[in-house]
């Protein structure tokens, strides 16, 4: 299942949102997904290709190893976003990505993310993907991902 982390200021954990000074005073939450099943197969660091994935090397690796992909991850994420206190920041996907074990975009997860952020525009969010082309092929656009306050 998706792992969630609350109230961390640990930049090793959530990364430093460069140049986003307006974010820094905010308390920060994070989500952690399973590496491999949630990753695009095209990623050069996919565990099937070796052990170069950063998420399995950093201090958070112990958390990433405990996360497991689940069909219910989208619902866990939706509830997590909606439950955040006003004004929090959220670092999506400290490990893992937006895909499912079938190699396709995990639409349930992505749609839950976007829907929850539309309801909570006060939650500033950011994240990364190694599967941008797959998201575009699935019909998502950059404006979809601006919903969470990404500038």
Q: Which residues bind ligand SF4 (CB under 6 A)?
A: 35, 39, 43, 45-46, 53-55, 95-97, 130
Taking the least distance from each CB to ligand SF4, the nearer of 124 and 129 is: 129
User: CB burial class (10 A; 0-12, 13-18, 19+) of residue 51?
Assistant: exposed
CA distance 139 to 121: 22
Residue whose CB is less far from ligand SF4, 35 or 112: 35
The CA-CA-CA angle for residues 21, 127, 99, to 5°, reads: 175
In whole angstroms, the minimum distance from the beta carbon of 2 to ligand SF4 comes to 14
Nearer to ligand SF4, 35 or 110 (CB): 35
Instruction: Give the nearest distance from C-beta 70 to ligand SF4 in angstroms.
Output: 17
Nearest C-alpha neighbor of 83 from the set 29, 20, 8:
29
Query: Least distance from C-beta 134 to ligand SF4, angstroms?
Result: 11
Residue spans of beta strands (DSSP E) within the chain: 3-8, 28-32, 89-91, 124-126
CA contacts within 13 A on the Cβ side of 61: 9
**Choice between 46 and 107, CB closer to ligand SF4:** 46
Closest approach, Cβ 54 to ligand SF4, in A, equals: 6
């Amino acid at each position: 299942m998706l792992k969630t982390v609350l109230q961390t200021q640990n930049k090793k954990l959530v990364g430093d949102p460069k140049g986003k000074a307006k974010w820094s005073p905010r308390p920060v939450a994070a989500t952690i997904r399973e590496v491999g099943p949630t990753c695009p197969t095209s990623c050069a660091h996919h565990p099937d290709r070796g052990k170069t994935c950063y998420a399995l090397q950093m201090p958070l690796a112990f958390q990433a190893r405990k996360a497991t992909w689940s069909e219910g991850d989208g619902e866990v994420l939706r509830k997590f976003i909606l439950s955040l206190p006003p004004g929090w920041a959220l670092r999506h996907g400290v490990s893992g990505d937006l895909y499912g074990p079938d190699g396709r975009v995990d639409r349930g997860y992505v749609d839950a993310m976007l829907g929850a952020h539309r309801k909570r525009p006060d939650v500033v969010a950011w994240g990364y993907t190694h599967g941008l082309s797959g998201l575009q092929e699935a019909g998502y656009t950059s404006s979809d991902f601006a919903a969470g306050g990404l500038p």
